Amino acid sequence: MADKKKSEHTGNGFSTFSGVFTPSILTILGVILFMRANFVVGEAGIYGAIIILVVAQSITALSALSICAISTNMSIRGGGAYFMISRVLGPEFGGAIGLALFIAQGLSIPFYILGFAEVLVTAIPTLSPWFLVITLSTAAALFLLAYVGAKYAMKVQYVIMAVLALAIFFMFAGAARHFDSQRLKEQLRPPEVSTVIGGKFSEGTAGMKANVADFQARATGRTDTPPVAKREKRYSFWILFAIYFPAVTGILTGVNMSGDLKDPMRSIPRGTLMAVAVGFIIYAAQIVICGGSFSRADLINRPFETLSANALFGWGWLVVAGVVAASLSSALGSMLGAPRVLQAVARDNIVRRLRPLAKGTKENDEPRNAMFVALALTVGILVWAGNKSDGGALNSVAAVTTMFFLWTYGMINVAAFTEHLGSNPSFRPTFKYFHWTTALLGAVSCLGVTLLISLPIAIAAAVLLSLLFWRLRCLTLKTNFGDARRGFYFELVRKNMLRLAESKEDSRNWRPTMLVIASDPEQKEDLLSYAVWLQGGRGMVYISQILQGEIQKLNRLRLMADRRLVEFCESKDIQAFPLSIVAPDLISGANAVLQTATFGPVRPNLICTSWHSELLQQFESFRWVIEGQASWVIAKIDHLPNHNPMIKKRIDIWWRGRRNGALMAVMAHLLSSNWEWDNAEVRLLRLISNKEGAESVRTAFQQLLDDVRIEATPTPVVSERTFNEVVQSHSSDATCVILGFDFPDDVSSWVAKVTQTIAPLPTTLLVCAGEAVSPLEEMEPRERRQ
C-alpha cells in the first residue's frame, strides 16, 4: 500500500534537457570556472591542469556510468541518488547517505550564496557593510522562487544559462585574441618558482583554505594585503586538485530531480552524460585557451580580473554577470534538489520524526515542508558566516560539502558494484556501457580523493556517516526495499557452498551444527539457549517444530508456525534457522527432519532434544543417526545459569571413555566460550578405585588437554561407591554436568537408571557421539597426528 501511494506522487514532467542537463551543467560551470581554474593552470602548468581535469572528470564519469546503470535497471522515483542507494544497499545505508546528501546539498545553498555575495561586494565595495543582509536577502529570494514551484524556477534557469553561455563565449573569445603558441609551450609545465601576491604562504590542508581565500580576494581586485613576496615552494598536486575538484561535483543536481522527470530511466543517463561531456569540453578549452593567452603571473595572481579585463569588446561586466549567474543558478539548483532528497527519505519512513516532511503539494508534489528545513540550514550557515567577506566561511563550507558529495559518489559506485557482484537476475540495465570494474574503480577513487584532500575532514565525514548508519540500524526498521544485499549474500553463499562441497571433511574443520527437535520450541527456550551456546558462535542451529497431523489439513498452520518461529527467534535474539514440518506423530516427524534438514554439504551433526519420555522410549528410531551422520545430546535442564559474572560457574565432565569423552570436552569448551559462561571452571573427572592410579590419570588428562588446547582441571576421583553415588556427591553443586552414554539394549531399564542418576543433579547433558566425522581426532596427541 505504501508503495502504491508513493507511485501516485506526480512531479512536473521535466524533459532530459530541462530536468537533468540544465541544473547539472549550471552547477558544473560555477564559481570554479571563473575564480579558481586559471590559478590552477598557472600553478600546475597546462599539462598538470589537464591531468587534474582528467582525474577529476574520470571520477565523475565513473560515477555517472554507475548512475546510468542503476537508473536504467529500476523505476526511479523521487530522491535521486538516495533512492538508488537505498534500493540497492538497503535502508540503513540509504538513510545514512540520504541524510548526508541532504546536508551536502543544503550546505551548497549558502556556499553559492556566499560566493555570489563576495563577487557583488568586490564589484561594488560600498556594499561590504551589508554583506550579511545581501546573503540573507538572496536566500529569501531563492527560497520564494523554489517555493512557488520547480516549473517556474526552471524557467528562470534558462535565463541564467543564457547569461552564463554569453559570459563564457565573451570570456574565451577575448582570451583567444591574445593566444600565443610560444607562450603555450612555455607554460606547459609548472614553474620552478612562482610569484604570488601576499606576505605569507601557508602549506597543508588548513593553509590551503587561507591561500584560496587570499587568491580569491586578489582575483576580484581587493588590495588590502602586503606587498609581493617570493616563495620557493609551489602548491602540491593534491592541494590544486582539491581547489579544482568542486568544478565537477554538479551531476547529482540533475539526478536529484528524478521525481520531477517525465521519463527518469531515459532522462537521467542522457542528461548526466551530456552534462559531463559538455563540462569537460569547456574546462579543457579554458585550460588551453587561457594557458596560451595570459602570462603565468596573471593566471596565478589575477585569475578572475584577467578574464574580465580581456573580455571581448571590453564587456567585463558580462563576465561578472556570468559569475553571478553561475552562483545563483547553482544555489537555486541545490534549493530545488535538497528538499526533494529529504522528502524521499521521509516518505520511506526510515526516521519517523521526519514523516511530516513527506508531504508534497497536490498539483506537482512540491516538497514545501522540506524546503523550510533547507532554508533553516541555509540561514544558520549564513548567520554563522556573519558580515565577513574574506572567503574563510566560503572555503570551510566548500571543504565539508565536497567530502559529503564524494562519499555519495562512492556509495553510488558501491551500489552498482554490489548489484553486479550479487549476480542478481533482476539486474538487467538497459545502459550497456557499464562494467563492474568501472564501479569498483570509481568507489576506490572517491575514497582515495577524500583522504588526499583532507584526512581529518574525511575521517570526520566517515565517522558521521557511521554514526548515522549505526543509529538507523538500531531503530526498528520495517522498511524493506528488496535491496541487492540479499542477492549479493546469496551469490556469496552459493559459491562458498559449492567450494565447501568439493572440500573433504576433516576433524580439524569440525564445526557444531545443531538440530533442535521439539514439538513446541517456544516452550523450550532453555533448550534453544543451550543449543546456541553449544555452537559457540562457530556453527549453526536449526530449530525444528513438528506439527502432528496430516499435511493436507495443516499446511496453512505450518506456514503460520514458520512465521511465528521466525518472530520468536528475532524477539529472543536467537540466531537460528527455523523449520516446521507436519507428520503423523512426533517420532515420524523427527525421522523426517533428520533426513531432510540439510543445506548442501552442511548437515546437522549434533541432534539436541530435551529429556522427553516419548522420545526416549523410541531409542531405535535414532540408532541410524548415530551410526551415520550425527551425535545425540539429550538435555535435562534445571535452570539457566545466572549471568552475573561475580557468581562462579562450573562445568563437570565425567570421563568414561574416549568415544564420548572427546565430544564432551569440546562441548564444554564451546559452552565456556560464551559470555554467559565467562570465567566458568571446567573439571574433567574420572572415577577410579585406587589411589595409586590417581597421579597417572591426572598426568594423562593434563597431557590430553594440552594436546587439544582446552583449559580444564584434571580431577581423578578415588572411591569404592557406585558411579551414580559419586556423580551426585561431587557434581550436585555444579552449574552443568556432562555425561556420556551408549545405546542400551534394554531401553526401559536404562531410562529408569539414568532418571535416578540425574534427578538430583543440576542441568545435565547426556552425550552419545556418532561415528561420522567429529572432533574425536583432535584428542589424539600431536606427535601421533604428525
Q: How confident is the model at residue 375 (pLDDT cuts 50, 70, 90)?
A: very high
Write down the mean pLDDT value for the chain: 80
Quickly count: other Cβ atoms within 10 Å of residue 18's Cβ. Answer: 24
**DSSP alpha helix (H) spans, 435-509:** 436-453, 455-474, 485-502
More confident residue, 220 or 157: 157
Q: How far apart are the first and last CA of the chain?
A: 64
Please report the pLDDT score of residue 391 as a whole number: 56
Please state, for a pLDDT cut of 90, what percent of the chain lies above it: 20
3-state secondary structure at position 669: helix
- Written as one letter, the residue type at 398 is A
Instruction: List the Cα angle 34/38/42 in 5-degree steps.
Output: 170
Residues contacting residue 306 through CB under 8 Å, at least 6 positions apart: 38, 294, 298, 299
Please report the pLDDT score of residue 476 as a whole number: 47
pTM of the model: 0.63
Residues contacting residue 54 through CB under 8 Å, at least 6 positions apart: none
Residues contacting residue 740 through CB under 8 Å, at least 6 positions apart: 654, 656, 657, 659, 660, 661, 664, 766, 767, 768, 769
Asked if 243 contacts 274 with a C-beta cutoff of 8 angstroms, the reply is no
Asked if 744 contacts 750 with a C-beta cutoff of 8 angstroms, the reply is yes
The gap from C-alpha 459 to its chain's centroid, in whole angstroms, comes to: 15
Ramachandran region, residue 573 (left: φ > 0; alpha: ψ -120 to 50; beta: rest): left
Please state, for a pLDDT cut of 70, what percent of the chain lies above it: 83
Residues contacting residue 109 through CB under 8 Å, at least 6 positions apart: 139, 142, 331, 334, 335, 338, 374, 377, 378
Rounded Cα distance, 233 and 212, in Å: 16
**Can you tell me which residue has the cell 540509504?**
94
Rounded Cα distance, 269 and 71, in Å: 7
H/E stretch holding 58 reads helix 37-71
Rounded Cα distance, 633 and 664, in Å: 10
The CA–CA distances, whole Å, from 8 to 78, 268, 333, 363, 364 equal: 11, 20, 25, 12, 11
Rounded Cα distance, 545 and 207, in Å: 67
Pairing of strands 631-636, 763-768: antiparallel
Please report the pLDDT score of residue 200 as a whole number: 37
**Can you tell me which residue has the cell 554569453?**
166
Q: How confident is the model at residue 783 (pLDDT cuts 50, 70, 90)?
A: very low
Rounded Cα distance, 239 and 16, in Å: 35
Rounded Cα distance, 409 and 251, in Å: 10
* Reduced DSSP (H G I as helix, E B as strand, rest coil) percent helix, strand, coil of the chain, to 5: 65, 10, 25
Structure confidence by residue, pLDDT tens digits, 165-209: 999 999 999 999 999 999 999 999 988 654 444 333 333 333 444
Edge-to-edge order in the sheet of strand 577-583: 577-583, 540-548, 513-518, 606-610, 631-636, 763-768, 736-740, 650-654, 681-688, 713-718
H/E stretch holding 728 reads helix 723-731
Please report the pLDDT score of residue 35 as a whole number: 78
More confident residue, 10 or 256: 256
Rounded Cα distance, 146 and 152, in Å: 8
Residue 581 main-chain phi, psi, to 5 deg: -135, 160
Please report the pLDDT score of residue 47 as a whole number: 94
Kindly state the DSSP code that residue 36 receives in the 8-state scheme.
Answer: T
Structure confidence by residue, pLDDT tens digits, 725-753: 999 999 999 999 999 988 777 778 888 88
* CA-based max dimension of the chain: 117
Please report the pLDDT score of residue 295 as a whole number: 92
Transcribe 61-116 into DSSP letters. Answer: HHHHHHHHHHHTTS---TTTHHHHHHHHH-HHHHHHHHHHHHHHHHHHHHHHHHHH
More confident residue, 392 or 324: 324
Asked if 477 contacts 91 with a C-beta cutoff of 8 angstroms, the reply is yes
Rounded Cα distance, 45 and 299, in Å: 10
CA-CA-CA-CA dihedral for 748, 752, 754, 760, to nearest 10: 160
Nearest to 115 by CA among 205, 213, 235: 213
Structure confidence by residue, pLDDT tens digits, 265-311: 888 899 999 999 999 999 999 999 999 999 999 998 888 889 989 99
Q: How confident is the model at residue 716 (pLDDT cuts 50, 70, 90)?
A: very high
Quickly count: other Cβ atoms within 10 Å of residue 467's Cβ. Answer: 11
